[in-house]
Structure 1
Amino acid sequence: MSSNQNPVSVPLVSEPMGILASLAAARRNILSIIPNIAVTQPMVSGRTGKRWHMVMDPASIRRMLLENLENYPKSLVTKNLLKPAIGDSLFIAEGAHWRWQRRAAAPAFTHRNMLNLAPFMTAAAERSSERIAQAHPQPVDVAQDMVRATFDVISDVTFSGDGSFDGDAVHRGIDAYIAEAGKISLFDILGFPDWMPRPGRMFSGQSLKQMKHIADDAVDARRNRGPKDVPDLLDLLLEGEDSETKRRMNTAELRDNLLTFIVAGHETTALTLAWSLYLCGFDQDVQDRARAEAQSVLQGRAAEGADVENLPFIRMIADEALRLYPPAGMISRTAMAADTLCGREVRKGDTVIIPIYALHRNQVLWEDADAFRPDRFADRRAIERYAYLPFGGGPRICIGASFALQEAVIILATLLSRFRFTSVPGAEPKPVMILTLRPEGGVWLKAEPV
């Protein structure tokens, strides 16, 4: 690999686009509407039907996500897309309704509880390892395998092998929903009011109904049965209460939050793993170093929760994959009142976008921004807090971040200790974001047992 060659990236636009061109581009890949100058500037503004701003300046992002949080609620577009699937759960709720749910759910995600859930991750890593070994000598689509592995984990940690839970049906429902919901509607870009029906959103009623029904049954069955010896995520959420109001989640609230964790939890970690493996196939030197670390710690067994702190370089690879290919590559907010960001006027009603993909590749903030260099994360304190947002930031930072990173390190270390991954010529993945930043065409790698 020559040093001037970088891993795959999204071609950004050099000319401003009109509404129809923006819409066509957004339907194919929402990141392709980001102007090229976003990777060299702190802020870019324009108008496409509505006034919009893209913000890549860490201090202004801090203002949006922390200091002036109430002024920048999630955009209506985001809420309209996701509400049918996940209701008013943590991901969408605002204000007091968000705060009490967050307080009730937070104890489930303590470090101790995460370690208790690690055996599910180790088991999934073993099963993935077996599937990959069976495929040899044929190339394997690791993106697809990682979706399977992380879905195994999330259904095991939420329903710990309850026979009552039909994971495949939920998985199909989620996939059908994401495929449709992700297609940004022209109405949204034009800023039409919310009450106008959106074509293509009316569909998916059936798979959603079935998915919610399955989850409701599972929650009710658990309420009647009580917790297991080692509580899983559902047990922990059932026991969770808001420390201030003593409120607990009812079945519908629990279901919506569980579906949020299932939707958000498995796909984003699967993507982190798929891109990490792609990058290891791309740079064999990094892969050799990671394998040496994993083999010396694991000695042939699969990784466990207690190993994670002893696998710092594997963690750096996951961090760098999240920088280059953040699963949520763009977040948008609606300004509730006038504000100033980067010395520029933001008016009430303006759409304010944080294009995390461009932020993570901004040349002012990152040296050699498009290159794959895990060592950037050797000293995390050196990284500006709001320059790196794979899990968002401020009080709304992803509640499952430690869960996702623990899972990614366990699976990645297990696989790298057992296989050498090499890329398949002519089968480069294409980074495309509809709702999440996926490798279109899959990540095809040859996996040679070591």
Structure 2
Amino acid sequence: MTQTDLPVHVPLATQPLGVLGSLKAARTNLLSILPEIAVRQPMVSGRTGIRWHMIMDPGAIRQVLLEKVDDYPKSRATKNILRPAIGDSLFIAEDAHWRWQRRAAAPVFSHRNVMNLAPVMSAAADRSAARVAAAGDHAVDFLDEMVRTTFDVISDVTFSGEGTFDSDAVHRAIDAYIAEAGKISLLDMLGFPDWIPRPGRLLSGKVVGQMKQVADEAIEARRARGSGDIPDLLDLLLAGEDPETKRSMNTSELRDNLLTFIVAGHETTALTLAWSLYLCAFDQEVQNRARVEVQSVLTGDTATGADVANLPFIRQIVDEALRLYPPAGIISRTAQKHDMLCARDIHPGDTVMIPIYALHRNHMLWDNPNAFRPDRFADRKAVERYAYLPFGDGPRICIGASFAIQEAVIILATLLARFRFNLVPGRQPDPVMILTLRPNDGVWLTAEPV
């Protein structure tokens, strides 16, 4: 199979980069710091200012994410980047502070609540299809379109579309923050103490402060008004409490978690959908097969929550897109104790990375790993648990995973029911990771009505 038979992928490093080379690469595309041997070995170690280890062995990953999760908290660099924007929310908090928030928020994403939100997803998919149809023969950037569509969903399920909260402004503020603050600092790579300021984060943090004030005011207004007939995400969070301690979230805790859900709840799904549409355009046979399934299941031309369970091949496309282009291409932990991973010594303070991008393309774990093959997921039980981690795993697995999958299947099925997607010559997407793995310059496709 030649390179032209494969969907786009990131060229990995074939030579040691050194500190400055690693910094330059990381600030341009974080995935380019990954050594090519990471897709052929179970573990790679080195030193770039601080000791680091990349693990691709499922048993070692299980140890880090499940068996010894308290010994491997999120890395200091990750916390330093995100804390100014989302505080000590579920994504960052550790130990008891994380556990009580997780217990309080878990019912929000129960199967019943997620299914109740399906009509919002179907309505957003329908509006997206209308916009695509209006574009006619013109190419559409489906990254922008999917960001808009999934943001429609998260806005409606968070605030019932009531218009009292400028969610667009929130998204712009956090996006601006991540664009600058999300870049790796030389101080991070050299292991300098957290209290030494990182200039970009100080400057970009000002706009986030204004955004937090807006969010606080919206929360207090809802607290005073009370919930509507059909509770939205904010209502459910306000009503949530730790079943063990009966503790509920105060305004700042609600705000930090709400902002986390708003950003993560649409960004990752938008990326998954954009990559899924690119892959369907890349492989027309897969697209044809998916459309046949959709047309045999849908009673109209918009997918509903009830259709999701009857669209296994659409789900397989989503799963394969998440394998090839995981939104979180690398997750990072800081070892707290001496340990052994793959018979290698781990010291306290070492950075332990799980490069999801390399794990999902590791030749020891996947057959022809760079190829687009949705049938890998025809039997999900045959996929090794810790070889496929688009949502992480262990107690810190993404709380909104079922929400994201349902949304992606509904929107993808709706679009495939109405259009045939084709690549635009000369406009291939370029996978680039700063904080998430995005198609640089968008995903440009044409959409032909079927």
Q: Shorter chain as normaliser: what TM range?
A: over 0.9
Greater shift after overlay, 171-180 or 19-28? Answer: 171-180
Match of 1:151 in 2: 151
Matches within 5 A, 1:126-137: 126-137=126-137
Match of 2:288 in 1: 288
2:181–2:204 CA contact under 8 A, matched in 1: no
Q: Aligned-pair distance for 1:295?
A: 1.4
Matches within 5 A, 1:299-338: 299-338=299-338
Cα deviations across residues 25-49 of structure 1 (Å, max 9, x unaligned)? Answer: 0000000000000001000001111
2:389 matches 1:389: yes
2:109–2:399 CA contact under 8 A, matched in 1: yes
1:185–1:199 CA contact under 8 A, matched in 2: no
Match of 2:44 in 1: 44
Cα deviations across residues 241-285 of structure 1 (Å, max 9, x unaligned)? Answer: 101010000111001000000111110000000000000000000
2:20 matches 1:17: no
Q: Aligned-pair distance for 1:3?
A: 9.7
| CA gap 1:19/1:356 in 2 versus in 1, 3 angstroms | same
Matches within 5 A, 1:160-171: 160-171=160-171
Cα deviations across residues 389-413 of structure 1 (Å, max 9, x unaligned)? Answer: 0000100000000000000000000
2:63 matches 1:63: yes
Q: Aligned-pair distance for 1:415?
A: 0.2
Q: Aligned-pair distance for 1:384?
A: 0.8
Q: Aligned-pair distance for 1:2?
A: 7.9
Match of 1:274 in 2: 274
2:85–2:205 CA contact under 8 A, matched in 1: no
SS of the equivalent of 2:422 reads strand
2:91 matches 1:91: yes
Q: For 1:410 and 1:375, how far apart are their aligned partners in 2? A: 19
2:347 matches 1:347: yes
1:116–1:230 CA contact under 8 A, matched in 2: no
2:414 matches 1:414: yes
Residue-pair matches, total:
450
Match of 1:103 in 2: 103
SS of the equivalent of 1:53 reads strand
Q: For 2:334 and 2:139, how far apart are their aligned partners in 1? A: 45
Greater shift after overlay, 59-68 or 176-185? Answer: 176-185
Q: For 2:49 and 2:377, how far apart are their aligned partners in 1? A: 40
Q: For 1:248 and 1:51, how far apart are their aligned partners in 2? A: 40
Letter in 1 for 2:250: N
Letter in 2 for 1:253: E
Match of 1:191 in 2: 191
Q: What is the RMSD computed on CA atoms of the aligned residues?
A: 1.1
Greater shift after overlay, 88-97 or 166-175? Answer: 166-175
Match of 1:424 in 2: 424
Q: Aligned-pair distance for 1:107?
A: 0.5
2:363 matches 1:363: yes
Letter in 2 for 1:346: I
Match of 1:263 in 2: 263
Q: For 1:234 and 1:249, how far apart are their aligned partners in 2? A: 11
What TM-score comes out, normalization by structure 1 length? 0.99
SS of the equivalent of 1:203 reads helix
Letter in 2 for 1:240: G
Q: For 1:53 and 1:274, how far apart are their aligned partners in 2? A: 31
Q: For 1:317 and 1:62, how far apart are their aligned partners in 2? A: 26
Q: Aligned-pair distance for 1:310?
A: 0.6
Q: For 1:382 and 1:267, how far apart are their aligned partners in 2? A: 29
1:49–1:189 CA contact under 8 A, matched in 2: yes
Q: For 1:205 and 1:430, how far apart are their aligned partners in 2? A: 28
SS of the equivalent of 2:241 reads coil
Q: For 2:127 and 2:284, how far apart are their aligned partners in 1? A: 24
Q: Aligned-pair distance for 1:205?
A: 3.0
2:231 matches 1:231: yes
Letter in 1 for 2:379: D
2:31 matches 1:31: yes
Letter in 1 for 2:75: S
Letter in 1 for 2:10: V
Match of 2:377 in 1: 377
Q: Aligned-pair distance for 1:429?
A: 0.3
2:177–2:201 CA contact under 8 A, matched in 1: no
Which aligned segments of 4 or more residues in structure 1 are displaced greater than 4 angstroms? Answer: 1-4
2:124–2:149 CA contact under 8 A, matched in 1: yes
2:265–2:404 CA contact under 8 A, matched in 1: yes
Letter in 2 for 1:244: E
Q: Aligned-pair distance for 1:355?
A: 0.3
1:121–1:153 CA contact under 8 A, matched in 2: yes
1:159–1:218 CA contact under 8 A, matched in 2: no
Q: For 1:2 and 1:28, how far apart are their aligned partners in 2? A: 27
Q: For 1:339 and 1:187, how far apart are their aligned partners in 2? A: 26
SS of the equivalent of 1:217 reads helix
Q: For 1:323 and 1:17, how far apart are their aligned partners in 2? A: 26
1:137–1:446 CA contact under 8 A, matched in 2: yes
2:83 matches 1:79: no
